[in-house]
Amino acid sequence: MAQSVKKGFRVEGVSLKMADIVPSKQLKAFVRAGRKYKQIAASIAEVGIIEPLVVFPLTGQSGKYMLLDGHLRFDVLQQSGATEAPCLISTEDEAYTYNKRVNRLATIQEHYMILKAIENGVSSQRIARALDVNISAIRQKVNLLDGICQEAIDLLKNKHIATQAFKILKKMKPLRQVEVAEMLVAANNYSMSYIKALYAATSRALLLDEDKPKKVDGLSTEQMLRMEREIEGLQKDLKLIEESYGTEMLNLVLARAYLLKLLNNTRVVRYLAQNHGDLLTALQTVVDSVSAEGTVAEEGVRKPEDAVAAR
């Protein structure tokens, strides 16, 4: 029977006095001037603490707790004059789990979150104040997926990609949106420079406004035309490989099976070893290279040296 997983913290949350919480590190002045700190401060001012602080009882100091996670939130509360803070009491004296194993909200997930909040009656102005952004940024996030096809959305829904990237995707036809999304995922590269390069390499026939000339900073018309031709050639080669891959793999598996049968025949191996040593080595190399999981050795294929020894 499987053992139950040990809980990492007490299930019941508690409210502790700020004076009883001892931070394990001190914030630098530049941290308070950072974007992340300001966003947390704006969120706490607008909606309060959403994620409790994580603390651990200090040994030998009754009623005192060491702060494991939430130093920015703790400092914001201190600066605002708060006397108490909601906390979770950890059962282990370690902060790695809380500080390193964090799932960041993807761009499309944030879009759905904002839409849900608006549907529940939260105004765009309040969301902007909570996130410490301009109201125009919230409107842009609300309209993030307008003009994006569902297939591209599905490919990028869990990816961290800049909001501006979707403005570039909206200039493309649905087929090209899917192609670009697939290339982003395949390369695991969601940078704006890469997305702009893919846009520059997109032929006008795949853009919504075919008659409007493309403009990409740092690239001339001649460079974009050359990129279009190169990408088109690469995509054709990729399609040909995709179409023939299944058949070629089947042929390769069948050929390997035949070679295995030959190389397991003592008389055949002995003849090749005596008269065509180079050919035997080449056939053995083919069999070994096709086997990705070491199945050649498991199936007992005779090696050239085995055949020589069997003479």
**Which positions ≥6 away from 56 have C-beta within 8 Å?**
65, 66, 68, 89, 90, 92, 93
Please check whether residue 120 lies inside any domain of the structure: yes
Phi, psi of 29 (to 5 degrees): -65, -35
Q: For residue 108, give the 3-state DSSP assignment.
A: helix
Contact present, 155 and 178 (Cβ < 8 Å) = yes
Asked whether residue 198 is assigned to any structural domain, the reply reads no
Largest CA distance in the chain: 92
Q: Is residue 227 part of a domain?
A: no
Q: What six digits make up the tokens of 178?
A: 């899917």
What is the per-residue burial (b if ≥16 Cβ within 10 Å, else e) of 230-250? ebeeeeeeeeeeeeeeeeeee
Strands 84-89 and 53-57: parallel
Other CB atoms within 10 Å distance of the CB of residue 43 = 19
Task: Tell me how far the alpha carbon of residue 81 is from its chain's centroid.
Answer: 39
Q: Could you tell me how far CA 267 lies from the centroid of its own chain? A: 54
At residue 151, the pLDDT reads: 94
- Is this model's pTM higher than 0.85 or not? no
**Residue range of the domain that includes 299:** 245-309
| 167 within domain boundaries | no
Confirm if 287 and 279 have CB atoms less than 8 A apart.
no
Report yes or no on 220 lying in a domain. Answer: no
Do 89 and 109 lie in a common domain? no
The size of the chain, in residues, is 311
**Number of structural domains in the chain:** 3
119 in the same domain as 81? no
The three state secondary structure string of 234-286 is HHHHHHHHHHHHHHHHHHHHHHHHHHHHHHCCHHHHHHHHHHCHHHHHHHHHH
Backbone angles phi, psi at 26, to 5 degrees: -105, 135
pLDDT at 235: 66
Rg of the chain over all Cα atoms, to the nearest angstrom? 31
Q: Do both 125 and 57 map to the same domain?
A: no
Residues 272 and 289 in one domain: yes
Residue 181 has a pLDDT of: 92
Last residue in a domain, options 100, 126, 160: 100
Q: Final residue of a domain: which of 86, 118, 144?
A: 144
Same domain, 20 and 96: yes
In a domain, 221, yes or no: no
pLDDT truncated to tens, each residue of the chain (311 aa)?
456 666 667 778 899 999 999 998 888 888 888 888 998 999 899 888 888 999 999 888 888 999 988 899 999 999 999 999 999 998 887 665 555 555 677 899 989 999 999 999 989 899 888 888 888 888 889 999 999 999 999 999 999 898 889 999 999 999 999 989 988 888 888 988 888 888 888 888 888 887 776 666 666 667 767 776 776 676 677 677 777 777 888 888 888 888 888 888 888 888 888 888 888 888 888 787 765 443 333 444 444 444 444 44
